[in-house]
Amino acid sequence: MKKPSATNLPIYKNPALPAARRVKDLLSRMTLEEKAAQMMCVWQKKSETLVNGDGNFDLKKAKAAFKKGHGLGQVGRPSDAGKGKNAREMAELTNAIQKFFLQNSRLGIPVMFHEECLHGQAAIGGTSFPQPIGLGATFNPGLIESLYAMTAEEARVRGTHQALTPVVDVARDPRWGRVEETFGEDPYLVTQLGIASVRGFQGDASFRDKKRIIATLKHFAAHGQPESGINCAPTNVSMRLLRETFLYPFKEAIQKSGAISVMASYNEIDGVPAHASEWLLRDVLRKEWGFKGFVVSDYYAIWELGYRPDTHGHCVAKDKKESCALAVRAGVNIEFPEPDCYLHLVELVHKGVLKESQLDELVAPMLFWKFKMGLFDDPYVNPDEAARLVGSEKNRKLALQAARETITLLKNANNLAPLNPSKIKSIAVIGPNADRELLGGYSGRPKFYTSLLEGIRSKVGDRVQVPYCEGCKITVGGSWNQDLVTPSHPEEDRKQIQEAVKVAQQADVVVLAIGGNEQTSREAWSLKHMGDRTRLDLTGRQQELVTAMLSTGKPVIVFLFNGSPLSIQYLNENVPVIFECWYLGQECGHAVADVLFGDFNPGGKLPITIPRSAGHLPAFYNYKPSARRGYLFDDVSPLYPFGFGLSYTTFAFKNPHLAKNKIRRNESTRLLVDVKNTGKRAGAEVVQMYVRDCVSSVTRPVKELKGFQKISLRPGETQTVALDITPESLAFYDIHMKCVVEPGEFEIMVGNSSRDTDLQKVILTVE
């Protein structure tokens, strides 16, 4: 049979034509029902509509569910079909589903597949690296871009087109269970790593090499400072703070790295839920910023515009029809994760509540990116290539490097660390997190996982004895997904602590792995699945375990694993060595061992302040001048400040100066500083630049991060670091809500943390 020539093809099927022209032609051919179908997705309903009990494509089910031939917009997480799909199986499944929709929808419109890719694709076999809060500690945009480029390739080869990542929320309340999903508390750091993430996922957004996928910025907006620290609660912030802190990372990632998709957030701002906010999704996102991509709903969030009994609701809609209308008017292009409120689209158009042109406007950009990704022309993937690439040794090495750079040394009294294995005979490994898989939320099942215990034993081999005791539990069993969280039993814990003391007494040094786990700080998504906290203390009997280990008289080295900052004043006062690890991903044990024995010099920096207690919140470093006056009976300063992190070597900052001490408001200059490695080991340091407007028309923070650079130096080596100061570095929203640079003096501070004693100052005059 003779194939039709390009000239005989419908315009939308001609790959030689521009995507925009193909979209216009396709839309003109689509029925109202076909347009509505593009605004819907199936996720868990795959089992009813697309796959059998084993998670394999079921043609009979698919034909019954989509017999009208209207098609479908997206399929959510094909990786979790059945009991989960490995790389080859998922590639085969996505090919089969795609083939069905191309052949069984009237116009042959392909579907898009989305996946969670927070720290590697959350699927069987995907390479798992540190949680974003840990990635924030690396202060390394180049590394972050490489990690997400790796994830994009692993996901795309399995059939994925869109990642529901990166999270560019600015986390300003450690009680909030989703802190681990963010890059931290600082808008500038979050922005730089967010831009790097998008570039990793999307590349140049040509998608020609089939190695990249669409990035989704989330959660838009201001999700990171919920009332009372409770997930989805209202965000009560001023317009100035909203724009400068919470909207800034989204704006920059859209305008500087071309993010294609945005996910609206569950929360409300000033009484208007994000999914119903025309101001947020139309006026700001599209009109002000020029966003041309598409907005996806958070899971079930359109339903929550009314009332969702198992969790909450905003009560701005009386039913799902009203919720549908509100979301469409606001500009939500597609409803995730199931056909629900948007099932009413066609009816609402027929009744005149909505116009078909409103659907056209929302469907067009989604079709555009289906064309740009080649889904109409080259939609299939190679299962053999998926099996070869996903979880490869090459990708494993990158995950290990990320884990190493994440580890942050908070305290090292008398230079106890690193340990020299030739000088010790026995290391007691103790603690509830010593031999537990700790990946954090939105994790898949990587091919490899090495616990702290396994990593240490692998490193020292037969040269050093490594006895182990759990010591106590944090929670009983459980996982991130399990609703019920069961606290450990006090008496059973105390029996284990006694056993741990016996083990520790026979050792030369104690390595103690404690902190939190995936249940003690996590996304709270329903009334039965909580994850936000009122306290930041160590859960259960962990502090008793620490006290017992110290009572043995043995040197104690603590490795903390947690998704959110913990109040560890007792540890700070009594334990000689403390490492903050967050969640390190699949190479956890190897990274810990490399750092513990000095094969890798830790260089992580805190991406979020560690407060003294929950009563000290908020504790973020970039506060206003009147904020941290003091407390009765307590120190107002943080336990560990933003940007802080020690090394096995030392660094000296000298001769900070400006290339130009005076500039006009539209001019730029540079801060230069000499940094010398004054110790005996090679190491990495993060040079951090903070800015303060000394006198301004509205109050400004006492300091704001506006530049950083990570450098590696050999012992005795000096490097001059130059950091740009542009009008953007100095601008803010003035008394008239205009983003301007005001004339006057600015303090430019440089050092290796946000703490005043770690900073040196120079004055910049803006004329």
For 393-609, CATH number?
3.40.50.1700
How far apart CA 6 and CA 8 sit, in angstroms, is: 5
Torsion of CA 586, 144, 518, 451, to 10 degrees: 20
Q: Note the helical H segments in 581-663.
A: 588-596
CA proximity to 690, closest of 645, 753, 619, 648? 753
How far apart CA 260 and CA 166 sit, in angstroms, is: 12
14: left (phi over 0), alpha (psi -120 to 50) or beta: beta
> By the 8 A CB rule, do 439 and 122 touch?
no
- Quickly list DSSP for 652-702: EEEEEEES-SEE-TT--EEEEEEEEE-SSS-EEEEEEEEEEESS-SS---S
> By the 8 A CB rule, do 189 and 172 touch?
no
What average pLDDT does the chain have? 97
Backbone angles phi, psi at 475, to 5 degrees: -130, 165
Q: Which residues are catalytic?
A: 298
Which residues fall within 8 angstroms of residue 313, CB to CB, at 6 or more apart? 303, 304, 305, 306, 307
324: left (phi over 0), alpha (psi -120 to 50) or beta: alpha
How far apart CA 487 and CA 420 sit, in angstroms, is: 37
pLDDT for position 478: 82
Q: Tell me the domain boundaries of the chain.
A: 51-293+359-389, 393-609, 651-766
For 651-766, CATH number?
2.60.40.10
Across the 767 residues of the chain, what is the mean pLDDT of every consecutive 10-residue run? 64 97 98 98 97 97 96 98 96 98 97 98 98 98 98 98 98 97 98 98 96 98 96 96 98 98 98 98 98 98 97 97 98 98 98 98 98 98 98 97 98 97 97 97 96 98 97 93 94 98 98 97 95 96 98 98 97 98 98 98 98 97 97 97 98 98 98 98 98 98 98 98 98 97 98 98 98
The pair of structure tokens assigned to 55 is 């998670």
pLDDT for position 5: 58
- Quickly list DSSP for 494-509: HHHHHHHHHHHHTSSE
- Say if strands 162-163 and 112-115 run parallel, antiparallel, or are unpaired: parallel
The pair of structure tokens assigned to 764 is 């910049």
> By the 8 A CB rule, do 11 and 17 touch?
yes
Express each pLDDT in 267-292 by its tens digit. Answer: 999 999 999 999 999 999 999 999 99
pLDDT for position 1: 44
Supply the angle between the helices 356-372 and 19-29 in degrees, to the nearest 10. Answer: 140
Residue 446's Cβ-side half-sphere holds a number of Cα atoms within 13 Å equal to: 29
The pair of structure tokens assigned to 359 is 């659907």
Residues 183-204 as b or e (16 or more Cβ within 10 Å = b): bbbbbbbbbbbbbbbbbbbbbe
pLDDT for position 8: 82
Q: Name the CATH superfamily, with its identifier, for domain 51-293+359-389.
A: Glycoside hydrolase, family 3, N-terminal domain (3.20.20.300)
> By the 8 A CB rule, do 234 and 295 touch?
no
The pair of structure tokens assigned to 239 is 């317009």
> By the 8 A CB rule, do 135 and 193 touch?
yes
Strand runs (DSSP E) across 272-360, as ranges?
Answer: 272-273, 294-296
> By the 8 A CB rule, do 114 and 76 touch?
yes
Angle at 455 between CA 449 and CA 461, to 5 degrees: 135
- If 0-12 CB within 10 Å is exposed, 13-18 middle and 19+ buried, where does residue 491 land? exposed
Angle at 737 between CA 731 and CA 743, to 5 degrees: 40
End-to-end CA distance of the chain: 75
How far apart CA 613 and CA 568 sit, in angstroms, is: 8
Strands in 577-580's sheet, in edge-to-edge order, are: 408-412, 577-580, 556-561, 509-515, 427-430, 468-469
CA proximity to 405, closest of 242, 607, 213? 607
Which residues fall within 8 angstroms of residue 633, CB to CB, at 6 or more apart? none
Angle at 520 between CA 519 and CA 524, to 5 degrees: 70
Q: Note the helical H segments in 203-337.
A: 239-241, 248-257, 278, 320-330
Strand runs (DSSP E) across 65-177, as ranges?
Answer: 74-76, 112-115, 162-163
- Per DSSP, the three-state class of 263 is strand
Express each pLDDT in 381-432 by its tens digit. Answer: 999 999 999 999 999 999 999 999 999 999 999 999 999 999 999 999 999 9
- If 0-12 CB within 10 Å is exposed, 13-18 middle and 19+ buried, where does residue 1 land? exposed
Asked whether the domain spanning 651-766 has the same topology as the one spanning 393-609, the reply is no
The pair of structure tokens assigned to 107 is 């116009």
> By the 8 A CB rule, do 111 and 73 touch?
yes
How far apart CA 313 and CA 317 sit, in angstroms, is: 9
